[in-house]
């Protein structure tokens, strides 16, 4: 691993090589966390999250705006509270995320409920809570929301998420702005949406929204999509609606390997004039950008083996702990915590799950450290623990927050017995008596 790749990734996470030659997050040695908590364990850097929020916030300058953190990226309550304290709102996609956001201290009016498949229960919960607005993604959803709002005697602020039919260069599984996908209302169906709004006083069109996908590295797709969103805004105003908010989504990319992510300042500069001319408040929904680089997953080597000419390190974290490499073929840098700068050999880092696709990284340049050695998987603050599971009856990992020279457990490791504590092995036992 060349220093040109390692150094920026370490800096992104607020990591450094300490005097003893091991990795520090802030002022906390990662080996100390692993020794106390066991592995696998996720560790998040509060200072990095604050710095990334502040930089993105400052990029918009005096332009009225609100950053609504995408809770799906990492829903740990300590992470949510940290961002709420920074002044963020919350972008949610489920009733469970609504409860998490409220529990973490987000005011209801700073919560935006997005997502394509909201149930009646979820819509009713959002109405009752008084969320800032509900982003609808189909005409059918808008009609149903009108019925529920009328039944509650409520007046509900809504956003219409359009599908701008703009393709961003990213993984197809995380591209959301092109036509033919489940996301957003196609522009040619907007007259039907306006008709629903015209028929009810229970809904008010408060926002127009779009989202292009995730891990986008250039501002060009936003410029094209924003031009379409502004056409929709002009048409909505001609029809007598007065949206106060333009929701431009999230998706700002981060560095996982050797990418060159766009600076927030460059992104905002490319779209600032268009946004300022609208007179609307700008809303954005970053998740990965705020928390992705701030997290690492710690894991230990259980065994080493050599097979078919390949060096293999079997670790105690698997695809149930970090799904992205198996699902997206995503790259996460892997470093040896106690020897991050030692000479290396190509090594497959694989997990214990009974699947050939269970790997964290293939042919990675790693030192020939022995069983028991501690590894850190970088870029694990977003869509990592959040996508973890109990596959193979494995307990989900612990989570830790580091803040300068302090660290604390913010989610304990699951206990194996708790995984089946609510199950009933013999549901018909009473009938046999």
Is residue 1 predicted with pLDDT exceeding 70?
Answer: no
The CATH code belonging to domain 114-286 is 3.20.20.10
Q: If you average pLDDT over residues 241-264, what whole number do you get?
A: 92
Confidence class for position 2, pLDDT limits 50, 70, 90: very low
Specify whether domain 3-45+292-420 bears CATH 2.40.37.10: yes
Least confident of 177-186, 222-231, 243-252: 177-186
Residue 317 has pLDDT above 80, yes or no: yes
Q: What is the mean pLDDT of the chain?
A: 92
Give the residue-averaged pLDDT of 134-154. Answer: 96
Tokens of 54: 């502040």
**Known catalytic residue at 280:** no
Query: Residues spanned by CATH 3.20.20.10 within the chain?
Result: 114-286
pLDDT band at 4 (very low <50, low <70, confident <90, very high): very low
Nearest to 98 by CA among 78, 72, 73, 117: 72
Contacts for 153-157 with beta carbons within 8 Å, 24 or more apart?
154/127, 154/202, 155/201, 155/202, 155/203, 155/204, 156/127, 156/202, 156/203, 156/204, 157/132, 157/133, 157/203, 157/204, 157/206, 157/207
- The pLDDT assigned to 220 comes to 87
pLDDT over threshold 70, residue 270: yes
pLDDT of 238? 95
Q: How many CB atoms lie within 10 A of CB 78?
A: 18
Torsion of the alpha carbons at 232, 237, 240 and 242, rounded to the nearest 10:
100
Instruction: Give the span between the Cα atoms of 43 and 402, in whole angstroms.
Output: 7
pLDDT of residue 16: 93
pLDDT at 11 (0 to 100): 92
- Give the integer Cα–Cα distance in Å for 188 and 395: 47
Torsion angle of the four alpha carbons 324, 325, 327, 329, in this order, in degrees rounded to the nearest 10: 130
Nearest to 72, CA basis, from 20, 112, 12 = 112
Residue 358 and residue 433 in contact, taking contact as beta carbons nearer than 8 Å: no
Q: How many CB atoms lie within 10 A of CB 345?
A: 11
Task: Specify the domain boundaries for CATH 2.40.37.10 within the chain.
Answer: 3-45+292-420
Nearest residue to 32 via CA among 408, 335, 380, 341 = 408
Q: Does the structure show a pLDDT above 90 at 278?
A: yes
**Residue 203: beta bridge partners?**
156
Separation between Cα atoms, residue 82 and residue 164, nearest integer Å: 33
Q: Residue 172 — very low, low, confident or very high, per pLDDT cuts 50/70/90?
A: very low
Residue that is written with structure tokens 């929301």 in the block: 145
Long-range contacts, stretch 270-274, CB < 8 angstroms, 24+ apart: 270/219, 270/220, 270/222, 270/223, 271/219, 271/222, 271/223, 271/226, 272/60, 272/63, 274/223, 274/226, 274/227, 274/230
Task: Name residue, tokens 């919350």.
Answer: 90
Kindly name the residue from 68, 86, 280, 354 that is annotated as catalytic: 354
Q: Look up the pTM and report it.
A: 0.93
Q: Angle at which helices 46-59 and 264-276 pack, to 10 degrees?
A: 40
């Amino acid at each position: 691993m060349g220093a040109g790749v390692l150094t920026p990734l370490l800096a992104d996470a607020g990591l450094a090589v300490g005097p003893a030659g091991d990795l520090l997050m802030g002022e906390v040695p990662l080996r100390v966390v692993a020794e106390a908590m066991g592995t696998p364990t996720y560790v998040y850097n509060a200072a990095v999250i604050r710095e990334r929020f502040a930089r993105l916030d400052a990029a918009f300058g005096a332009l009225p705006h609100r950053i609504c953190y995408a809770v799906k990226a990492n829903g740990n309550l300590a992470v949510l509270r940290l961002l709420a304290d920074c002044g963020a709102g919350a972008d949610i996609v489920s009733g469970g995320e609504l409860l998490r956001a409220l529990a973490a201290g987000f005011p209801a009016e700073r919560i935006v409920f997005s997502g394509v498949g909201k149930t009646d229960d979820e819509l009713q919960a959002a109405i009752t809570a008084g969320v800032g607005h509900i982003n609808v993604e189909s005409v059918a959803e808008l009609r149903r929301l009108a019925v529920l709002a009328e039944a509650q005697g409520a007046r509900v602020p809504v956003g219409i998420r359009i599908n701008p039919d703009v393709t961003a260069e990213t993984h197809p599984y995380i591209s959301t702005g092109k036509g033919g996908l489940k996301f957003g209302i196609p522009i040619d169906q907007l007259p039907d949406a306006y008709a629903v709004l015209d028929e009810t006083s229970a809904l008010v069109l408060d926002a127009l929204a779009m989202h292009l996908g995730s891990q986008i590295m250039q501002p060009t797709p936003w410029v094209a999509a924003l031009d379409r969103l502004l056409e929709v805004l002009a048409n909505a105003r001609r029809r007598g609606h007065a949206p106060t908010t333009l929701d431009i989504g999230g998706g700002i990319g981060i560095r996982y390997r050797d990418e060159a992510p766009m600076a927030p300042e460059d992104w905002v500069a490319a779209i600032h004039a268009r946004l300022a001319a609208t007179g609307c408040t700008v809303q954005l929904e970053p998740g990965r950008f705020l928390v992705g680089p701030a997290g690492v997953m710690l894991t230990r080597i259980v065994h080493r083996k050599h097979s078919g000419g390949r060096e293999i390190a079997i670790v105690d974290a698997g695809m149930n702990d970090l799904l992205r490499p198996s699902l997206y073929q995503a790259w996460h840098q892997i470093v040896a915590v106690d020897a991050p700068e030692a000479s290396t050999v190509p090594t497959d880092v694989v997990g214990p799950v009974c699947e050939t696709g269970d790997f964290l990284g293939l042919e990675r340049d790693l030192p020939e450290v022995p069983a028991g050695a501690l590894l850190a998987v970088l870029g694990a603050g977003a869509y990592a623990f959040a996508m973890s599971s109990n596959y193979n009856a494995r307990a989900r990992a612990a989570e830790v927050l580091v803040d300068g020279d302090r660290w604390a457990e913010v989610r304990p490791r699951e206990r194996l017995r708790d995984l089946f504590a609510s199950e009933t092995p013999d549901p018909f036992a009473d009938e046999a008596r």
